[in-house]
Amino acid sequence: MKADGQISTRQLFILTVVFVIGTSILVAPSVLISVAREDAWIAAMLGGAVGTGTTLLYGWVGIRMRGSTLMEFTGRLLGRWTAKVLAVLIFGYVYFTCALILQNTADFVTGEILPDTPDWAVEVIFLAVVVMAVWMGLQPLARTAEIFFPWILLLILIIYVLLLPDVNLQKIRPILGEGILPVAKVSALLWAFPFLQLFLFLLIFHHVGNPEKGKKAMLAGSAVGSVVLVILMFLSIAVMGSPLMELRLYPTFTLARKINIGNFLTRIEVVLAGAWFLSSFLKLSITYYTGIKVLTALFNLANGRWLIAPLAALMMYLAHVTNPNILFSLKVYSQFLLYPSILLGFVYPLLLLVLSFFHGKQGRGKGGRKRAEET
């Protein structure tokens, strides 16, 4: 990684949107529809609303950091060794998440687009670009996101517009036919993935010049990403219906295949795949970048660039060992990564925020007593 300067609030907003969309536009619908069925779009609204609200927590913590890094801030509040333990946990979480994203990408390409291509070939090509992006640093990565962002939104918007004529509101009924419990249960998964994963942005928040505006940028970015996912979930149900969609590994890809304008404009699913490739590349790059930042802080390294390529090679091995197929990956998301996400993405930032207020009060109290003694 090159020496990282500051990023603008606009770039932070864009990074937040593409991180939220990321792999969710293809992976999340299958999980939500399989549990909430016709109410999957309600679960997406609930999970998105709670997730967007959680982004405020990260913004408040970022403001309290006052320009310091997350690990420095944690060390001041919880102690040096506690910060190191948390750094190990965060890196493990980040590295495993990167392996999941990488394997999901390979599974999708070999399963839906290039069935005769081996997984490792897709992973090598995809990971080579990610390594290059992380090697260049945060600013080039943010500028890359600025270039791709309009195209991602445009490609998704094309899919939305072309699907509108096929919407059938009868397919979203009955509303809450099985009660609120399945909806609440599965909305927790959307809250955890991807919204709680936004705590990783605290590792780059000190690169934002204006923390107050940075908080607003993250809040707006998570809100926009949430709206994109809710609309996608609604169209998936209203166009195809939950009985058909819950049997698909990639419901939105199946949804895009339905588009047929006069037997002339067909095979539009590649457009959705293009948006997914771009957003997945950016999410994996951001996630891997934060992992390298944590490892650099953990071992007090002057520069962590030399770690990027070797750890990327090990990531491919980890992806095959821990995530043999997409079904297992979905099980990992829903059963094994939920609680670590809540611990690191909610409990940890909330603890930092509470302790920072007590720490600030103690600091002001000591300062007041010292001034009183001097007088």
Give the per-residue pLDDT at 250: 85
Distance CA 202, CA 217 (A): 13
Give the per-residue pLDDT at 246: 79
Contact between 123 and 106 under an 8 Å Cβ cutoff? The reply is yes
Extract the residue ranges of the chain whose pLDDT is less than 70.
Answer: 1-3, 324-335, 361-375
Domain layout of the chain by residue ranges: 9-349
Give the per-residue pLDDT at 327: 66
227 residue type, one letter: V
Give the per-residue pLDDT at 31: 84
**DSSP letter string, 63-117:** HHHTT--HHHHHHHHH-HHHHHHHHHHHHHHHHHHHHHHHHHHHHHIIIII-TTS
Contact between 332 and 100 under an 8 Å Cβ cutoff? The reply is yes
Hunting for tokens 């996608």 — which residue is that?
A: 232
Give the per-residue pLDDT at 324: 67
Give the per-residue pLDDT at 213: 96
Give the per-residue pLDDT at 161: 92
Fold that domain 9-349 belongs to in CATH: Amino acid/polyamine transporter I (1.20.1740)
| Beta carbons within 8 Å of 269's beta carbon, 6+ residues apart | 253, 254, 256, 257, 259
- Residue 35, helix vs strand vs coil: helix
Contact between 189 and 337 under an 8 Å Cβ cutoff? The reply is no
- Vertex 61, ends 58 and 67: CA angle to 5°? 115
